C-alpha cells in the first residue's frame, strides 16, 4: 500500500544552519504531497504542499520539490531559526479514500 518514509530524528542544528529533512514515498499514481509542522503543545498545521510532479511548495522560507523520478519530497530551509524548532511530518494523498498518509515525524531542535 501507499506509504511515506521520512528520516529519523531528532535533528539538532545551530541557528542559521541549512536544513534538509528527507521524505520518500510509495504510491500508485501521482498523489499530492504535503509537509505539516507541529509546534510544542499545538496541533499539526500545513507548512506547504505540491500537487504534481516538479511542483515546488514553499512557505516561511521552507521549500520542497515534488520529484517523481526519485519519489521524494525533501524539505529544505537555507537558514533555520530557533523558532523553527518543531516536529515535521511528511504526508501524501491517500487517493480515493480521502485520507492523508503521514510519516512518523522528524523532531527538529535549533540551538541559538
Partner 1 sequence: DAGVIQSPRHEVTEMGQEVTLRCKPISGHNSLFWYRQTMMRGLELLIYFNNNVPIDDSGMPEDRFSAKMPNASFSTLKIQPSEPRDSAVYFCASSQNLLGRADTQYFGPGTRLTVL
Residue numbers at the binding site for partner 1 (CB under 8 A) = 32, 34, 42-46, 49, 89, 93-100, 102, 104-105
* Of residues 42 and 69, the one with the C-beta less far from partner 1: 42
Set of cell numbers at residue 83: 523558532
Give the CA radius of gyration of the chain. 13
Of 46 and 53, which CB lies nearer to partner 1 in the complex structure? 46
Cell 499530492, residue located:
32
Q: Which is nearer to partner 1, 14 or 99 (CB)?
A: 99
> Does residue 84 contact residue 110 with C-beta atoms inside 8 Å?
yes
- Minimum Å gap between C-beta 3 and partner 1 is 13
Q: Cα separation of 27 and 59, whole Å? A: 25
**Complex with partner 1: residue 15 or 60, whichever CB lies closer:** 60
C-beta of 58: minimal distance to partner 1 in Å? 15
CB environment 38-51: b (16+ within 10 A), e (fewer)? beeeeebeebbbbe
* Least distance CB 85 / partner 1 (angstroms): 17
Amino acid at each position: 500500500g501507499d506509504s511515506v518514509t521520512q528520516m529519523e530524528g531528532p535533528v539538532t542544528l545551530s541557528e542559521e544552519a541549512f536544513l534538509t529533512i528527507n521524505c520518500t514515498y510509495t504510491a500508485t499514481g501521482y498523489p499530492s504531497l504535503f509537509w505539516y509542522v507541529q509546534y510544542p503543545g499545538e496541533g499539526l498545521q500545513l507548512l506547504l504542499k505540491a500537487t504534481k510532479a516538479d511542483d515546488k511548495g514553499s512557505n516561511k522560507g521552507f521549500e520542497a520539490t515534488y520529484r517523481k523520478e526519485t519519489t521524494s519530497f525533501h524539505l529544505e530551509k537555507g537558514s533555520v531559526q530557533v523558532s523553527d524548532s518543531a516536529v515535521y511530518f511528511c504526508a501524501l494523498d491517500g487517493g480515493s479514500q480521502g485520507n492523508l498518509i503521514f510519516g512518523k515525524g522528524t523532531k527538529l531542535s535549533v540551538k541559538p
